[in-house]
Structure 1
């Protein structure tokens, strides 16, 4: 009977980690842009730029400023990620 030793987990490829980091930062930036657009369009709707009448109250609570703020905050969290570091420099 042979004894097998567990293999060490392969080290994460630094280029792969960098690509994943950049993808998440770009997604965060896109979410921030979408949040700003939602908030601006909602503000313009209150100014009645798109025609007479205000948005209904439920729309203010669901798809107005709160949604814009949620998208901005979520995007800022993703876009504010730290750069991935090599594990070899931490030892």
Structure 2
């Protein structure tokens, strides 16, 4: 399925009652009351933003979270091991 680029969407005429971003797709009527808000939303996106950069940033964030989770799990396992060791020492001392 063809996904229109931001440039294609910007070229959509605000005077037409129909939107046709891809010639192979039939014309679809749109609600004209939201056209200005839609154009404002489109203008807020930078043309230089591309999916690859967004995915790279998401990958970096995911890696950071994964590393943080590993540290938390390691600390939790260490606390459990320390508690078990203290229980063994207690049992050995008082038995």
Superposition TM-score tier, normalisation by shorter sequence: 0.3 to 0.5
Higher relative CO (CA 8 A, sep ≥ 6), structure 1 or 2?
1
Point out the structure with the larger strand share. 2
